[in-house]
Structure 1
Amino acid sequence: MGFFTRRKVILTTGLVGAGALAAYAGQRLLGGFEELAAVPVFAKDGVAIRGTDPVAYFTQGRPVAGSPTHALEWNGAVWYFASAENRAAFEAEPERYAPQYGGFCAWAVAEKGKLYSTRPENWAIVDGKLYLNFNDDIQARWQEDIPGFIAKGDKRWPEVLSGG
């Protein structure tokens, strides 16, 4: 689908390779960010929001797993929905339900001007818009000044998306 992320590739063998892999995994578990390439929507394996139904955040007040049975392609990614009704609602008004900043980490867009992944469990709806964040720690940072981060993110988003 044309979506790529920058990935670190470790090409070693024996104990050196195992040690390097363990060190890299430790960095990831401790919350190390991986900067992603600029694309309109954060999609893992081409699927937006890791397969979570974006409409459910608004209708059920929580992340709900979507299904490939109720899939829709929009803005360069495949979106999954928990029901045909949610898919129809999204199709009628995708900008209403799609997460801000293409589903990339709202705090990172605002504070760093960078694109980082998100987890569906780290979310908030503010003024009728869905925002996602990288993890619990980043979500807590973002909540310290939501209006300020939104203002910064809105200003930075066009330049971040263009790779500028």
Structure 2
Amino acid sequence: MWRNSASAYGLTARLLHWSIAVLILGLIPLGWYITTLDYYDPGYRLWPGLHRGFGVVVGLLALVRIGWAIADRAPPLAATLKPWEKLGAHAGHGLLYLATLLIPLSGYLVSTAKGDPAELFGLISLPALWSGGEQWQEFVAGLHETLAWGTLAVVVVHAAAALKHQFLDRDGTLARMTGRLPR
């Protein structure tokens, strides 16, 4: 089933969710590793390019995911959730959607801050829309890193809440996004 049902997310939403999750969980530590490289490190040319390319992939998948979420409404939250849990779920999802757009955007701004295009996998070149120089690059790099830390915090809370609801509350919350519903 490609579309969401009343009790679970469909295959499309699940594929988008888990693809974005895996990419983010790989990009965050890769981004931190990149900050340790100096110009003469053999990975200095390879890793930033991969980080940049997969960051753009996250942004594009996020746009598709948001469009899909508008077109194919999510199943309702478990009826057993307390009002503050429902509020937390909606806020967390909103923050994650926002982060999947803002982090790639800020990464693009870091890459193009000095007016150079952003090269993606050696195949595509995204032009710089605005050149702000070194101070601008430092500012958006700081913003990019802050957004990554904040996103990691939200991801940890999101995952912990899903695990809590699945294994302690046994309300099937995690099963809705894995496609393994209890019988």
TM-score by length of 1: 0.26
Q: Looking at both structures, which has the greater relative contact order when contacts are Cα pairs under 8 Å and sequence separation is at least 6?
A: 2
Which has the larger Rg? 2
Report which of the two has the higher share of strand.
Answer: 1
